[in-house]
Structure formats: structure tokens, C-alpha cells
């Protein structure tokens, strides 16, 4: 993937999209966010978020094993497919990321499309294993104050600041997706 730098303020882009859309569709108020600079993100969040590597691979390296996908919600709107997922440590079930994705299904081969729609494998692994040529552009880094639903998904007893990022997936110069990724409390 090509190296990109985040914009300090996304122009005309909602920094929480598509997570906000998925939450509102479910009747849940989205979490509160603040756009931050990469240097404002504390370790270990900074090393997990500020990079040009596949996020699935980054999490697997950090936590020492594969991550599994748990689908929280999915729907299709026009030519776009939306899903909100939880990535968990395969060996322990501990949440390591919640993400919301909007992707244009027409950008993928039939084989990749079927794998995406099965909701069994993290998107990063599907694209990497399928040798899908794309780049990821970070649009914003986020400081997140979780809502009660997010706290439940992340096994949190009290609200604490979390961190995430908003990216766009680009192929051949065209945007084919939007992703918001939020990390739970990370100790190691």
C-alpha cells in the first residue's frame, strides 16, 4: 500500500462515517469524537493506528495471533455494503477492534465479494490473501468517548478515552470504501 499522510481536518468528510450511519440506523446515538493529530495519540495506540500497514495484520502482530471476526450488523444500500464488526483475539475472544465499513461491492471479483458477504474473515485478510491491489488513506485520527453500546462491546465498566482512525480505501484512483476503526483499552 502507498504511504499517505492524514489530513488534519477532513474536508467535506464526516470523520465518523460510516460508524455514525450504522449506529443511527440501529437507533443508537454514536460516540463523541474529537479529531487529533498523530502526535497526540499515546502509546501503544499510536503504534497500532499510525502506519501504512494493513490494520488486521498490525493487530495480529501486536496481540500475537490471528484475529477473528464477529459480525455486529450488516446491510446493503444501493451498490454499497455496510458492516459493523468486532475483531477479537482468536485464542481468547478479547476484543481488539470495532470497525464499520462501507464498500462498493462492484470493485471486487466474485470470489472476494462472496468472502466479504460471508462475514467470517476480516477484510484486511481477505484483501491481502486475495492479492487485491489497493491503498488506504488515513483521513483523520480520532479520540473517542464511547457510548454505552461501545462500552459493552469492549467489556468496559466505565467510559475512558479510546482512539481510532477514519480511512478511505482507494483502487486505481477511485474511492471504493470508507472505514472507521476504534480500538478498545490497550494495555500492552
Residue 37, classed as helix, strand or coil, is: coil
Question: Is residue 126 one of the residues assigned to a domain?
Answer: yes
The set of cell numbers assigned to 151 is: 462500552
Question: Is residue 3 one of the residues assigned to a domain?
Answer: no
Domain that holds residue 122: 19-183
Q: How many domains does the chain have?
A: 1
Question: Is residue 10 one of the residues assigned to a domain?
Answer: no
Residue 133, classed as helix, strand or coil, is: coil
Quick one: pLDDT at residue 6? 45
Quick one: pLDDT at residue 123? 94
Question: Is residue 179 one of the residues assigned to a domain?
Answer: yes
Question: Is residue 155 one of the residues assigned to a domain?
Answer: yes
Block means of pLDDT (10 residues each) for the chain, 188 residues, are 42 85 94 96 95 88 93 94 96 94 96 95 94 93 96 94 96 96 86
Quick one: pLDDT at residue 5? 43
Quick one: pLDDT at residue 184? 96
Quick one: pLDDT at residue 52? 79
Sign, Cα dihedral of 110, 178, 176, 45 = negative
CATH number for position 77: 3.40.1410.10
Rounded to whole angstroms, what are the CA distances from 172 to 3, 109, 136, 169? 15, 15, 12, 10
Minimal CA–CA distance to 179: which of 11, 16, 62? 16
CA–centroid distance for 127 within its chain:
14
Amino acid at each position: 500500500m502507498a504511504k499517505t499522510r492524514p489530513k488534519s481536518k477532513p474536508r467535506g468528510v464526516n470523520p465518523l462515517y460510516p460508524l455514525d450511519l450504522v449506529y443511527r440506523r440501529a437507533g443508537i446515538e454514536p460516540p463523541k469524537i474529537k479529531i487529533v493529530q498523530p502526535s497526540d495519540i499515546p502509546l501503544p495506540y499510536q503504534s497500532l493506528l499510525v502506519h501504512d500497514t494493513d490494520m488486521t495484520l498490525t493487530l495480529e502482530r501486536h496481540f500475537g495471533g490471528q484475529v477473528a471476526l464477529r459480525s455486529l450488523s450488516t446491510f446493503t444500500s444501493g451498490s454499497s455494503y455496510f458492516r459493523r464488526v468486532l475483531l477479537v483475539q482468536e485464542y481468547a475472544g478479547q476484543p481488539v477492534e470495532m470497525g464499520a465499513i462501507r464498500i462498493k461491492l462492484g470493485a471486487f471479483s466474485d470470489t472476494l465479494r462472496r468472502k466479504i458477504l460471508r462475514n467470517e474473515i476480516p477484510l484486511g485478510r481477505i484483501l491481502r490473501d486475495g492479492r487485491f491491489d489497493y491503498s488506504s488513506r488515513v483521513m483523520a485520527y480520532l479520540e473517542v468517548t464511547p457510548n454505552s453500546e461501545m462500552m459493552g462491546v469492549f467489556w468496559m465498566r466505565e467510559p475512558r478515552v479510546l482512539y481510532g482512525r477514519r480511512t478511505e480505501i482507494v483502487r486505481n484512483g477511485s474511492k471504493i470504501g470508507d472505514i472507521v476503526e476504534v480500538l478498545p483499552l490497550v494495555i500492552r
